[in-house]
Amino acid sequence: MAARTESVNPKKWLNAFLGVVGVTAVLTAILRLQSRRQSLPCPAWLTVLLENPYMNSVAGADKILDRMALEPGMKVLDVGCGPGRLTIPAARRVGPTGTVTALDIQPEMLHRLQDRIVTQGLTNIQTIQAGAGEGKMPVNTFDRAMLVTVLGEIPDRQKALTEIFAALKPNGVLSITEALPDPHYQSPTQLQKLTQAAGFKEQSCTGSWVAFTMNFVKPGGQAS
């Protein structure tokens, strides 16, 4: 019996795609309105806003890790790690001689990350359930720290950045990535003011207003 083939209806698939885009736009708009009242983390059931072809194109993991010059053997802090979109690639890049500490306030996000860690057989990742600014980060420990579309979700951004500053080694780098249409999007000007107040010095800015990465260094003479 000949195999049955089904023709693809371009209009049907286009409508489905537009439907997904529409739903995502509505959810993003709702989050943006809520964020004007209070800082809220992206809920675990909305990880589609974090992991999708658009985010991978404008703020993909490899692109971000390249911008922060992540190398084998480094110790990395992933603040607001979510389900591990950056955590897993970072762990692979630093290799068995490096480590990644993934911090998130939501247990659901960490459960998803733990599943991925087990599935992929990684042994150089540890997790911390806490919010940035709660004092749970080890001091003078990390070569790199990253905040990827998460800073605006933190209620006390200044306190969080001060804690990250203390967690980095002297000459350590904080890499912050922002991308539209994130409802908590932070502009380069906002980042410059916040990081300078925490003690950081701007090192570089890469990308465009749609999606960019800014790196900030902890000056070498300032141990916490």
pTM attached to this predicted model: 0.79
Q: What is the per-residue pLDDT for 18? A: 46
Question: How high is the pLDDT of residue 182?
Answer: 84
* Cα 4 from chain centroid (whole Å): 45
Q: Which residues of the chain have pLDDT under 50?
A: 1-8, 13, 16-21, 32, 35-36, 45, 222-224
Q: What is the DSSP letter of 185?
A: -
Q: Which fold has domain 32-217?
A: Rossmann fold (3.40.50)
At residue 41, the pLDDT reads 65
**How far apart (Å, rounded) are the C-alpha atoms in residues 32 and 125?**
32
pLDDT of 58 reads 80
- Backbone φ and ψ for 96, nearest 5 degrees, come out as -65, -20
What pLDDT sits at residue 186?
A: 95
Q: Where do the DSSP E strands lie in the chain?
A: 75-79, 99-104, 125-129, 142-148, 168-179, 201-207, 211-217
Question: Residue 46: its pLDDT value, please?
Answer: 54
Contact between 73 and 142 under an 8 Å Cβ cutoff? The reply is: no
Task: Give the pLDDT confidence score for residue 44 in this predicted structure.
Answer: 54
